[in-house]
Amino acid sequence: MKVFFIMPKSNVLFFGLGRLGYQMSSHLSKVKNINLFIHNRTKNKFISWSINNKATYFDYDSLLKIDYVITCVKDDKAVNDVLTNKKLVKNLHKKTIIIDHSTISIIQVKKLNNYFLKRNISFYDAPVTGGEEGAKNACLSSMIGGPSNHFGLIKKLISVYCKNIIYMGKSGSGQLSKFSNQILICGILISISEAIKFNKINKLDQNKFYHAVINGAAGSWQLKNRFPTMIKGEFNFGFSSELMAKDLKYVIAHAKKMNIDLSLTKKSLKLYNKLAKSKFKNDDTSSILKLI
């Protein structure tokens, strides 16, 4: 078990027991020198989580003073509802550090950063990548945007569930890095899907092909881990097509504002929007194969 000396008797409040948050908060619950509090939209999820993990359910009417707030929720609306709740703000103090692991729009990042700057509270956009598997194995990657002065403290805390933690720069830089990450993932998955289609039509052995190229120039995490599951028709590996569609909407909206043409990403969004409206919306992102 990892033990980190962050701040003596630090109170850490975690919001969001989704696929990633469920695992991330579980790792936090095993660190002895923090007091962990949890809040989730549905309390039943916390009851299920607490069978194997230890924390206190956060009551908005509490007089508790929180040192760290960590959010891992769905979208702009969810993170805004959580962090600008007046009942939450009264539990914060001037040394509170807010770490948002959600993937949200740049507009929302700016809104929250300004909101907390007025209250002398530090806000960091710190989206993560690595999926449910990465969260479970405590090997997520996080890209941090915000003032540099608290990066050391944040790194110590989130290294409980993150293996790779990079400070990217000023507020918004973490989220922009996550956007680029999603651009890469979708492009690679489209390429893998088209290669599978090409192989099938040309009657190439998919397994032999995989072993022929996996250690060559075409190799990647997606190819190594998802190609074998895609050819088996397995699409239950965490991050859903519905969530990817949401993320890509934020990417394209920002690209449009910056006058950046992302033709492949626009194609990706079109495909993931279609998946998000279908019975496959909860399948993982590699299910894009079904449309290609």
Q: With a cut of 90, say whether residue 5 has pLDDT above it.
A: no
Q: With a cut of 80, say whether residue 6 has pLDDT above it.
A: no
pLDDT tens by residue, 98-147: 999 999 999 999 999 999 999 999 999 999 999 999 999 999 999 999 99
pLDDT bracket for residue 7 (50, 70, 90) = low
DSSP the chain: ------STTEEEEEE--SHHHHHHHHHHTT-TTEEEEEE-SSHHHHHHHTTT---EEPPTT--PPEEEEEE--SSHHHHHHHHT-HHHHTTEEEEEEEEE-S---HHHHHHHHHHHHTTT-EEEE--EESHHHHHHTT-EEEEEES-GGGHHHHHHHHTTTEEEEEEEESTTHHHHHHHHHHHHHHHHHHHHHHHHHHHHHTT--HHHHHHHHTTSTT--HHHHHHHHHHHTT---SSSBHHHHHHHHHHHHHHHHHTT---HHHHHHHHHHHHHHTSTTTTSBGGGGGGG-
pLDDT tens by residue, 152-198: 999 999 999 999 999 999 999 999 999 999 999 999 999 999 999 99
CATH 3.40.50.1370 holds for 10-171: no
pLDDT tens by residue, 126-135: 999 999 999 9
pLDDT tens by residue, 211-249: 999 999 999 999 999 999 999 999 999 899 999 999 999
What is the rounded average pLDDT of the residues 259-274?
Answer: 97
Q: With a cut of 90, say whether residue 8 has pLDDT above it.
A: no
Write down the CATH number for the domain with range 177-291: 1.10.1040.10
Q: Mean pLDDT in the chain? A: 95
What is the rounded average pLDDT of the residues 45-59?
Answer: 96
The domain ranges of the chain are 10-171, 177-291
Q: With a cut of 80, say whether residue 3 has pLDDT above it.
A: no
Q: What is the pLDDT of residue 1?
A: 44
Residues 24, 157 contacting (CB under 8 angstroms): no
Q: What is the pLDDT of residue 194?
A: 98
Q: With a cut of 80, say whether residue 59 has pLDDT above it.
A: yes
